[in-house]
Amino acid sequence: MEQSNKEHRKRKEKNTAKKKLHTQGHNAKAFAVAAPGKMARNMMRSSDVNERKLHVPMVDRTPDDDPPPVIVAVVGPPGTGKTILIRSLVRRMTKTTLNDINGPITVVSGKRRRLTFIECPANDLNAMIDVAKIADLVLLMIDGNFGFEMETMEFLNIAQHHGMPRVLGVATHLDLFKSQSTLRASKKRLKHRFWTEVYQGAKLFYLSGVLNGRYPDREILNLSRFISVMKFRPLKWRNEHPYMMIDRMTDLTHPEILNAQGNKVDRKVALYGYLHGTPLSSSPGTRVHIAGVGDFSVAQVEKLPDPCPTPYFQQKLDEHEREKMKQEGEASTGTTTRRRKRLDDKDKLIYAPMSDVGGVLMDKDAVYIDVGKKNEGLSFVPGQEKGEGEKLVTGLQTADKNYAEIFDGVGLQLFSNGFALQGDEYQDDDEEEEEEEELDENKDQGRASLRLPRVHGKAIHDADEIIDDSPSDEEGNEDVDGQPRLEEIDFDDNINNKNEELAMGSDSEFELSGDDEDNWQRKAASKLNGKINHRRKWDIGKLIYMDNISPKDCIQRWKGEDASDEAAESDIEEEEAEDNFFQKRDQNNDKTHNYEGDLEKFVPYFETIEKLVQKFSNLDAIKDRFLGAPSLGDDQNDQKMNDDDEELYGDFEDLENKDAFAGGQEEGAESASNSDAESEDSFADFEKEQKKELTVDEERELNASKKEKLRLQFEMEEGENFKEGDPENEYDTWYELQKAKIAKQLDINNAEFESMTPEQRQAIEGYKAGSYVRVVFDKVPMEFVENFDPRVPVIIGGLLPTELKFGIISARVRRHRWHKKILKTNDPLVLSLGWRRFQTLPVYTTSDSRTRTRMLKYTPEHTFCGANFYGPLCSPNTPFCGVQIVANSDTGAGFRIAATGIVEEIDASAEIVKKLKLVGFPYKIFKNTAFIKDMFSSAMEVARFEGAQIKTVSGIRGEIKRALSKPEGHFRATFEDKILMSDIVILRSWYPVHVKRFYNPVTSLLLKNKTEWKGMRLTGQIRAAQNIETPSNPDSAYKKVERADRQFNGLKVPKAVTKDLPFKSQVHQMKPQRKKTYMAKRAVVLGGEEKKARTFIQNVLTISKDKEQRKKAKKQDQRKERLKRLAKAEEEKSQKDKEKKKEYFASHPKKRSAGDDDNGSSGKRRR
């Protein structure tokens, strides 16, 4: 059969719009907008897309060159494969297999990137909160076979309120699906659910089954690639605080103390880790918070060599070394660095001090070395070591000398170029004696008592402390005497002296410092040395901060005014001697040097007018400070200045000299006088002359200074104002301008820091992020050490000054919509705000149209409300979340995050009120006046409320006038209208509510069982425990209001009144009818048979009605009975069902039984 197709229709040649464009060789499109609507839409869309990309410009304070490792947290419910994932990733990146994962593991993942993996303990809410605060990337483990669990949702919600790190979902257990279609369907379902939680299009990885205790290599490779190229945005909180996750803990408490005082003493603890965030201040006593322990002052910080450096950093170090070698003149080795694309095996470092990497396990008090399995052959064979640990031990075995032998012939070398001193030569030296003794002791039996250690040249602030210790000016001279600032030898007796003096030193140390001899000696020595040392040039930067030198001395030393020095010193002595007598002192002081007198004085010190007149008789010195001043050719200073400029602007010699002179100030070009031109000529000659004289070195120097000046000028133009007001500047948008500014400032910071010496840099910048530091804390509770568990992350967060203060925080909070119950005012709530987790008693409030803050008893159901609570302050705009219970044993199945919010304001106090209605009743009513009773109990109370507004229930407003004398507490009030006796009078007042000052930090890390921290109990919990009924005021109960209908009497107008009313207002009353109606006229009288019949019928009807009624009542009773029966049956049935269900689920657990959670770590599921 033949196919019948439609006939082809040829396309009509239409005169289309496109054709029209090209008429007569004219391209219309080239000259006008063809489709303005479309174009507008396109533009709109593209600008929308661009706009969405923008974020508020924020300074990223992570250093570019050596950033800290990225913290990758693996989070998930128990049994989702967290440990296996870490193990697989570590194996992928470093080719090391970990048996046990304890604490953070740092690995090198790329040339410039390191990763720190941490496993968040499953089902530990405290740990989840801490991890959410520091993780840069979260690998969120989801059991694909089961779906999302409560922990996952809780973690996501916690993370969202602490700045939301990057989140990668990882779905595991996908091999358990039998059929492909269900797998696909559930993958899709998971993905979409994940997207609604994180963001649309968030990446979710799927990992299938486990092979050899690891996930498949290909899948892990993909995941690790994804991680290693991931970029991170700075988060606000972390960009403002230093923080650190510790990967090692050591108890430094001296064993002697433990022996003497038992193990219940506070410990000295060293915590190690990489610093993140902003630099940690190097000044002593910086306050930090250890999450789960409390606030502490840092006793000491020390930067350690990086245990896990990136290849890039190592390469830079090598280059630096090479540079040094070159400078020293040695022949370079000639090996140039090859550019490698891949990581070398030797670069694939791993650092996990608390795990068992390489057979070495560093515990808190010992180092364990894994010797492998028994049947693997001999261990500790030199040359055949199986791990780093064995190497260490075999190394020790081969040592042929003991330490005493090694150091036998070695003397003490004081200076690098001095000769070594042998111990016996200085046996009788006073100052060394003790130390020697100590040494001897060490040789013999070791030290038995505590020594106060003073470490040679360690951290900077320690050195400063040493200097600070010396209290009086006299001792300051010691430093002057050319001794190095870091004391290298322990002068123990000296130190003791100093300490004593410090202890005693109060009003005048001079008088109190007992040993005059010593002082005299020192003074004599300083005087002897004086002549040499006064010639020394002092660094003012250092002098300023040497607290033992008085400011006056500082200036003198710096300026090298040695002539007056001696005199001044004696002056001081005199003055201090005078201190002893009670004598008026300010007089002579003010007269002799009024300059130093009162530092409170605002007006600075000036020379006498005669000197000033003399000084400024010639204004040349400050001539260059004024705009439009004529340049003078004769002054040497000016010449030099011009000279420089001339060279600088060598190319523009034709320009007016003035411009150059004013240093690029355009305003200078007001008038160019003839003298300028002349001077220019003369300069040109002068310059030529000078050029010849310059040697190469000088020229180089000159060029360098020129360069510097140019750089600075560029900075001035670019760095300072960026031509902000100028619409022609190179930045298209405000955003770009801000970005440029931030970048410029960072450049300046880097440049300035690089120009400092390392010590100065550390003092000013602090310990910057990325450095591996050891932080020592004194007085850490012993429980922290005793109950230390490496699996639980320990986080140290730096605190800003505000966060050290306590006060009332007012915040905007909202009950989490997944939390089952609303929250009650003054019920304890554990808040995670800033670094801290603490329990507090919030008062929920609402604002009555901004006139007052009114207390709410409970949080509203679906909206924000205010909350005021006491606690450590935190800057406004900080988000937080709150939970009611953190202890796992008290947790039900519900969602634990109870509230989320944001800090609005901080203050020392808060004004919150609650409504108080006072009720009274009228007992006598005059026209607009009434006497009210029952509102107050005494006249005094009334007096307090005189003039207060009152109101009746019906809305008549009034005012309290005066207390009545007789019945105590009754008063007279006036109203705008006459009130009724049945009215209730109400006085609405506001009663202040105080926020309870309760702050209870969650010290979960001090517990043996970290998940069982219990604080103050909730009101409900206490009531349940003590079997107390919830108090209920019957007046507060909501019940149906039943109001009796009021019967009003008819209106009766008295005759006298009616008489006077106008006709229009007359009350119309009809006269009674006089004529009889038709019916009335014909009265029907029943009689005889009919009457009887009617009576009978009525009787019958009455009886039947009664019968019916009784029947009905009976039926109703029966019906009630039946309903009761039915309800009972129904209840029984449901009970039975429940039991059946319980029985079934007891024997067929759906996911895991509740008791499984506690042994969380071992919660690997058997399938």
Could you give the C-alpha distances from 203 to 166, 170, 464, 903, in angstroms and in order? 10, 9, 52, 32
Nearest approach, Cβ of residue 252 and another protein (Å): 22
Nearest approach, Cβ of residue 638 and another protein (Å): 11
Instruction: State residue 454 phi and psi, 5-degree precision.
Output: -130, 110
Pair 911, 968: CB distance under 8 Å = no
| 378 vs 567 by CB, closer to another protein | 567
| 547 vs 726 by CB, closer to another protein | 547
What does DSSP assign to residue 384?
-
d(CA 73, CA 80) in angstroms, rounded, equals 14
Tokens of 275: 């610093």
| Strand, coil or helix: 763 | helix
- Alpha-carbon 1101 to chain mean position: 89
Give the residue ranges of DSSP H helices in 666-813: 674-693, 696-714, 734-754, 758-765, 782-786
What does DSSP assign to residue 515?
-
Could you give the C-alpha distances from 1134 to 216, 434, 614, 1148, in angstroms and in order? 49, 88, 110, 20
Nearest approach, Cβ of residue 286 and another protein (Å): 8
Nearest approach, Cβ of residue 760 and another protein (Å): 6
d(CA 354, CA 850) in angstroms, rounded, equals 55
Pair 272, 773: CB distance under 8 Å = yes
Nearest approach, Cβ of residue 561 and another protein (Å): 13
| Strand, coil or helix: 319 | helix
997 C-beta neighbours (distance < 10 Å), count: 13
Nearest approach, Cβ of residue 846 and another protein (Å): 17
| 353 vs 834 by CB, closer to another protein | 834
| 701 vs 946 by CB, closer to another protein | 701
| 881 vs 885 by CB, closer to another protein | 881
Q: Is 889 exposed, middle or buried (0-12, 13-18, 19+ CB in 10 A)?
A: exposed
Nearest approach, Cβ of residue 719 and another protein (Å): 6
Nearest approach, Cβ of residue 161 and another protein (Å): 16
| 295 vs 687 by CB, closer to another protein | 295
Nearest approach, Cβ of residue 1003 and another protein (Å): 13
Query: Could you write out the three-class secondary structure of 818-839?
Result: CCCCCCECCCCEEEEECCEEEE
| 595 vs 923 by CB, closer to another protein | 595
d(CA 707, CA 720) in angstroms, rounded, equals 19
Query: Could you write out the three-class secondary structure of 1093-1113?
Result: HHHHHHHHHHHHHHHHHHHHH
| 229 vs 908 by CB, closer to another protein | 908
Which residue bears the tokens 């840069």? 136
Q: Quick one: CA torsion of 744, 745, 751, 753, rounded to 10 degrees? A: -160
Establish how many alpha carbons lie within 13 A of residue 1069's alpha carbon, considering only the half-sphere containing its beta carbon: 9
d(CA 889, CA 1142) in angstroms, rounded, equals 21
| 726 vs 1132 by CB, closer to another protein | 726
Nearest approach, Cβ of residue 949 and another protein (Å): 28
d(CA 742, CA 59) in angstroms, rounded, equals 6
Q: Is 573 exposed, middle or buried (0-12, 13-18, 19+ CB in 10 A)?
A: middle
| 306 vs 473 by CB, closer to another protein | 473
| 31 vs 602 by CB, closer to another protein | 602
Query: Could you write out the three-class secondary structure of 49-117?
Result: HHHHHCCCCCCCCCCCCCCCCEEEEEECCCCCCHHHHHHHHHHHHHCCCCCCCCCCEEEECCCCCEEEE
What is the pairing mode between strands 26-27 and 852-856?
Answer: unpaired
| 43 vs 764 by CB, closer to another protein | 764
Nearest approach, Cβ of residue 284 and another protein (Å): 8
Nearest approach, Cβ of residue 693 and another protein (Å): 17
Cα-only R_g, the chain: 45
Tokens of 992: 């202040």
Nearest approach, Cβ of residue 118 and another protein (Å): 27
| 78 vs 277 by CB, closer to another protein | 277
Nearest approach, Cβ of residue 672 and another protein (Å): 15
Strand runs labelled E in 470-603: none
| 740 vs 746 by CB, closer to another protein | 746
Nearest approach, Cβ of residue 245 and another protein (Å): 21
| 637 vs 1099 by CB, closer to another protein | 637
910 C-beta neighbours (distance < 10 Å), count: 22
| 676 vs 1012 by CB, closer to another protein | 676
Nearest approach, Cβ of residue 705 and another protein (Å): 5
- The C-alpha angle 285, 290, 292, rounded to 5 degrees, equals 150
